[in-house]
Amino acid sequence: MSNGTKCRCRRCTVCGLMGPAVLITVGVLFLIGRLNWGYTFWNLWPVLLIVIGAVRLAEAMASTEGHIGS
């Protein structure tokens, strides 16, 4: 019955943000490197760790109320 239904609980929503967040961050970091503001991707890569960490932390803290599926 729940087949094909997407879970809309908070955790699953946040979880879905991981991919886009990582892609956007990588894009922004490389862009900053191209803009010659004095930074390069190789200076800024730890920002990526922070973003991944923040999403994972949000996932762990988010409520799973109403979670559908296993």
Partner 1 sequence: MSTPSTPPAVVAKPLRRRSIFSGVLLIGLGVLFLYHNFRGGFDLLELLNRWWPLLLIFWGLTKLYDHFAARRTGQVAPRAITGGDIFLVFFTIALAASVGGADWTGRRGNFDFGAIFPHEPYTFSEELPAQPLKADSPVNISTDYGDITVVPQDAAELRVRIKKSARAGGEGEAKRLADKVSVAVSKNGDATQIGTQTQGGRVRVDLEVLVPKRASITARAPRGEIHVGGVAGSVNAEARNGNIEVRDAGGDVGAQIAHGDVHVVDSGGNVRISGRGGQIEVANVKGEATVDGSFYGPITIAKVGKGARFVSGRTDLTVSRLAGRFEASSGKLEISDAPGSVALVTNKNDVSLENVTGRIHIENKAGNVELRFTQPPKEDIEVSTESGNVELVLPAKSTFEVHAEARQGDIDAEFSDQLAKQVTQTQGSSRLDGKIGAKGPQIKLKTTYGAIRLHKSE
- Find all residues with CB under 8 Å of 25, minimum gap 6, and list them: 47, 48, 51
| 30, two tokens | 């490389």
**Size of the residue set binding partner 1 (CB under 8 A):** 35
Q: Which of 19, 20, 27, 66 binds partner 1 (CB under 8 A)?
A: 66
- Binding to partner 1 (CB under 8 A) within 2-41 occurs at 2, 11, 33-34, 36, 38, 40-41
Closest CA to 30 of 16, 17, 54, 47: 47
Minimum CB distance to partner 1, residue 17 (Å): 13
Site for partner 1, rule CB under 8 A? 1-2, 11, 33-34, 36, 38, 40-61, 64-69
